[in-house]
Amino acid sequence: MSTIRDLVMPHETIVRKLDRMAREMLEVHYEEAQIVLIGVDGQGLAVSEALARRLKELSSIDVIQGCLRMHKDAPLDHALECDVAPDALEDRIVFLVDDVLNSGRTLIHGVQHLLQGRPREVHTAVLVDRKHRSFPIRADFCGLTLSTQLNEHIAVDLSDGENATVHVERPDAP
C-alpha cells in the first residue's frame, strides 16, 4: 500500500510559527532571568533548539537547553532520561517541547518526570497539535492545530534547517 503525503507547512510557515511561539513565551515570562527548554528526543529536540535560538535573538533571557529521552510507546516500561539535572529545574520556568501532540502520552509522562525537579511552572510547547487526546494534557504554546484522521501521521522534518517541512501522511485507498 502506498502513502500519500500532503505538505501542511513549508519552511517559511514553520519559521513564522516558531517565531510567534517564541514571542508568546516571552510575553508571558518577560520578567524571568532564566528559563529551561527541554526537548523530547528526536524532532521535539529540533523544535526546542529552534525555539531557543529565537528566544536568545529576541531577548536577554538565559535559556538552559536539555533533552528528554524516553521510549514513546511504553514510557512506563523504560527509564526516562533528562540531561538537565533535577536541581537545575528547581523554582524555574520549564518548557517541555515536542514536535506533535497527539494522544498526550509523551507529554504527560515527560511532565511527570520533570516535576521531580520541583520547577515553579511547567509549560508544554508543540509545533503541531492534532487534538486526539487520551490523556489530560494540552499544548500551552502551539504552532498549528490540525484536524486529522486517526490513520494519518504527521511527519515533521527539521533536520535540514533551510528546508524544514511538515507533512500529513495517509494510506492511499486500495
pLDDT in tens, 50-97: 999 999 999 999 999 999 998 877 777 788 899 999 999 999 999 999
Domain that residue 60 falls in? 11-152
The region that residue 114 occupies, defined by phi over 0 for left and psi between -120 and 50 for alpha, beta otherwise, is alpha
- For residues 34-46, give the mean pLDDT: 95
The amino acid at residue 107 is L
Task: Look at residue 96 and tell me if it is in a domain.
Answer: yes
Share of the chain above pLDDT 70, in %: 97
DSSP state of 91: T
**Reported confidence tier of residue 8, pLDDT bands at 50, 70, 90:** confident
- For residues 127-146, give the mean pLDDT: 89
Task: Look at residue 37 and tell me if it is in a domain.
Answer: yes
How much is the mean pLDDT over the chain?
89
Task: Look at residue 87 and tell me if it is in a domain.
Answer: yes
Residue 9 burial (C-beta neighbours within 10 Å; 0-12, 13-18, 19+): buried
Task: Look at residue 38 and tell me if it is in a domain.
Answer: yes
Helices (H), 4-146: 11-29, 43-58, 105-115
93: CATH = 3.40.50.2020
pLDDT in tens, 148-167: 777 788 888 887 767 788 88
Task: Look at residue 98 and tell me if it is in a domain.
Answer: yes
**Reported confidence tier of residue 132, pLDDT bands at 50, 70, 90:** confident
Which element (helix H / strand E) includes 58?
A: helix 43-58
For residue 130, which of 150, 157, 106 has the smallest C-alpha distance?
A: 150
Pairing label, strands 34-40, 62-69: parallel
- Under 8 Å between Cβ of 111 and 125: no
Task: Look at residue 174 and tell me if it is in a domain.
Answer: no
Q: What is the greatest pairwise CA distance in the chain?
A: 56
pLDDT > 90? residue 147: no
Number of domains composing the chain: 1
- Give the pLDDT score at 2: 74
Q: What is the pTM of this model?
A: 0.91
- For residues 36-43, give the mean pLDDT: 95
pLDDT > 90? residue 4: no
For residue 141, which of 8, 5, 21 has the smallest C-alpha distance?
A: 21
Task: Look at residue 169 and tell me if it is in a domain.
Answer: no
- Give the pLDDT score at 1: 57
Task: Look at residue 121 and tell me if it is in a domain.
Answer: yes
Helices (H), 60-156: 105-115
Share of the chain above pLDDT 90, in %: 63
